[in-house]
Each structure stands twice: as C-alpha cells, then as structure tokens.
Amino acid sequence: MAKEYGDNYRIETDSMGEVKVPIEKYWGAQTMRSLENFKIGWQMPDEIIKAFAILKSAAAKVNVQLGVLDAERAEAISKACAEIMEGKLEGNFPLVVFQTGSGTQTNMNVNEVVAGRANEILRSLASGNGDRTDKIPAAVQIHPNDHVNKSQSSNDTFPTAMHIASVKILEEALLPALDEIIDTFLELEGRYMDIVKVGRTHLQDAAPLTLGQEISGWRSALEHNYNMIESSMNGLRELALGGTAVGTGLNAPAEFDIAVAEEISQLTGYEFQTEENKFHGLTSKDALVFSHGALKALAANLMKIAGDVRLLASGPRCGIGEIFIPQNEPGSSIMPGKVNPTQCEAVTMVCVQVMGNDAAIGFAASQGHYQLNVFMPVIIDNYLKSVKLLAEAIHSFNRHCLVGLEPNVEKIKENLDKSLMLVTALNPHIGYDKSAEIAKKAYREGISLKEAAVDLDYVSAEDFDRWVDPKKMVNR
C-alpha cells in the first residue's frame, strides 16, 4: 500500500513496515529495501528485465485462461509489460546483480513496477485521461504479489528469465554475427584457393597448402561452433516456470506450466517448452553451463584464428608477412609509422574474458544446494556478457580486419620456395631416410633441395622437377 508524503517521495508499506520511495518511480517497498541494502557492483542486465516482462505478460494471459485472474487486470499487466519490453520504463530497474542469489529482489522489482504502471493504466482508462499522473494514489487495484506474481515464485521465474534472455540474445546477436564472419571466410577461401603457400605445424615449416584451404579451416571451425551453440539451446528452451517455490508447483493451477511455455513461445517467436522435472529446473543450471561451454569453444577457435591472422600479418619486413590486413590506426606513441593488429588483440582479449566467465559460471552452477541454486544472478550476468562480447568482437573483427585481408603473393612465394618440407613429395619415390638426408644437407649447406638431391645422386634434376611440384601437393 502507498500513501503520498511530501513532494519528493511517497510511503510504501510491506510486511516489514514503511519505506520511503521516490515519488516518480513505479517500484515499491521491496525494491527500495534491496536498493538500500545492496550497493554492490552493477545493475541487473536489461535482457533479464525484458525477459521478466515477457514471462509476466504470458503468466497473466494464462492465468485468465485458467480462471485465476480477471481479464481487466491481466490486460493492464500485459500493457505494462509491453512498455518494459519497448524500453519505455527505463530507470525503474536499479537493482544490482550481487543481491539475493535467487534473484527474488529483481522478481519483486519487476512485480512492483508492473503493478504500479498497470494501476496507472487502469486509472487512466477509468478517467478517460491517458496522461501519466504526477503522484501515485494509495489505492492499489493490482497487487505485485497477488496479481503480477500470480501462479509464480521467484524460484521459478528467475531461471525462466535466464533461459528466455539466453535464447533471445543467441538468436538475435551471436548467431547473426557468426553468419556474417562465416560468409566472409567463404568469400576469401574461394578467392584465394589457388595461392599455394607453406604450411606450418609446431611453428615449423610443413607441407604446403593453399591460402584458401587455410582459411577454409577457420570457416569450418566457426561453422562447427555455430552448430554447437544451436545444439546447446535445446536445454535453454526448457522453462522452470510452474515449479513455483521448490518444484512442486504449489499455488500454480494445473496445466499452467505447459500453457505459459506456449504463450512465451508466441510472444518471443522462439520455441520454448516446460521443463519436465521442475526440481531439476530450479536447482540445476547445467543447461547454461553446457551452452556456455559452446561459447568457450567458440572463444578457443576465435583465439586460434585471430592468432593466425596476427602471425601471418607480422612484419612488415621482419615477420612472416604473408598477408596484409587493414591499417586502421597508428600503433605506437613513440615509433613513427608502426601499425599493429589491433582487431586481433581485441578479439583475443574477449576470448580470455569469456574463458574467465566460464570458470565463474561452472563454479556457481555447482552450488545448487537442495531445491535451489542461489548463484543465479552471477551466472546469467556472466553468460550474457560472454554472448555480447563475442557478438561485438566478431562483428568488429570481420568488419575492420577480415574483409580487408589480402595475400602478399611475393612473400608467400618466397617462403614456399625456401621451404625444406617440399621434400615430403620425394618420400614415395626414394623413401623417408633419403628424403630426410636431402633436407638436412640443403639446410646445413644453405643450398636448395634440388641441388642437395642432385648432389647426393638420389634423383635427377628432371625427376625432382616432376615430383616436387607444390601445386600437386595440396590435394584439392
């Protein structure tokens, strides 16, 4: 219940007594208590708030269908939730990640804001005046617990919001970014498929391949990651909503869980279904651990790809220098003309952060004591940060580096001609031992493989030219 008090704040009451709340805010007493008691870190991700709005709207509609909530209240609740999803109520969700581990305070923050705005909507409809009132009257037609939180508990809404937010951000941010970079690699590998270059294993010269083949390995790695992430979403599509406090579904009507998952699917456009075992849904966060494992695999591959690009572009005169990448900005405050592979460095730092996030998520998920995991806010905060960082880094890496990648044809030919590992083509003709002897002699005496082979009288000059042809060694 609320009552006006002065010009700057009003008094809200809850089961613990009275609390002063800024008059312009929609939140109530429980939000205010959390705001005062937890001044730690940063705010709950906006994706979670919007996911809550989705599930609250869905729950209201299903509660009407099941006869436990009237249509007038449900419509006002849904309108308030729609405004949250549209970003119209920003500034009303101030609570931090590091609060109660169940996320109860954020659930109540959303309940209170939805109730406050929904009551305002009801009053404006009753009066015919759609304008926002300056002060919120004491009368409450919609209660945050009794109506907005109807058939729910923080213990099943927060894990549900986690899964909704995760699926949405993967579908809307990360997977499109992966599509973008995969398309770039497809174009580059086709363009450079005929440029033969030296291969490298153990950071040592190896048998040749084409630049297009090398790029195809990068492309295939990311396609595998794409499939891994898609597969990991199966667990995220299962929703705990309907389990209420401990998984038994206390105070939720029969079939609420199935119907609300269907309604959430309709609202989001993405497939969701109810978690079969709600005891698992409340206490175990394995779906997020598994999904973030796919993100870590992506980070590992991005680290490798960015590292390859950085090394292949090293130089410009004293490095490998087989590719050119865009020169976007000066690289040194003291060395004039220096340009660095900054996009590669940004990507690799993101990869390090994602791997650190994975450690936090894994440890937090292992703490599901009895019927509830109470590390949920930190799990979803790290998960969403990883997805956003990866999506942004991939887009930046692609746009500011990869699309401008070009071969240094002269340097590639120079390195290929010097490679001792072309001798591998002689193995089928003269055997491994003689081929090794040729390579060692060439290296030791600083002569070509052909000269060493002829000097040792193992092959003729004509046979060497016929057998040692880099273009025939790439097996395309």
Q: Which residues are catalytic?
A: 202, 332
Tokens 């730690």 locate to 40
Candidates 281, 286, 284, 274; CA nearest to 247 is 281
d(CA 241, CA 85): 19
Rg of the chain over all Cα atoms, to the nearest angstrom: 31
Tokens 């695999």 locate to 297
Cα angle value 381/386/387 (rounded, 5°)? 100
Q: Where would I find the beta strands (DSSP E) of 394-461?
A: 406-407
* 476, 213 Cβ separation under 8 angstroms: yes
Please name the residues in contact with 474: beta carbons below 8 A apart, sequence gap of 6 or more: 196, 208, 209, 210, 213
Alpha helices in 66-135 (DSSP H): 71-85, 104-127
In this structure, how many other beta carbons lie within 10 angstroms of the beta carbon of residue 394? Answer: 25
For strand 9-14 and strand 2-5, is the pairing parallel, antiparallel, or unpaired?
antiparallel
Q: Which amino acid is at 114?
A: V
Alpha helices in 128-247 (DSSP H): 154-169, 175-191, 211-236
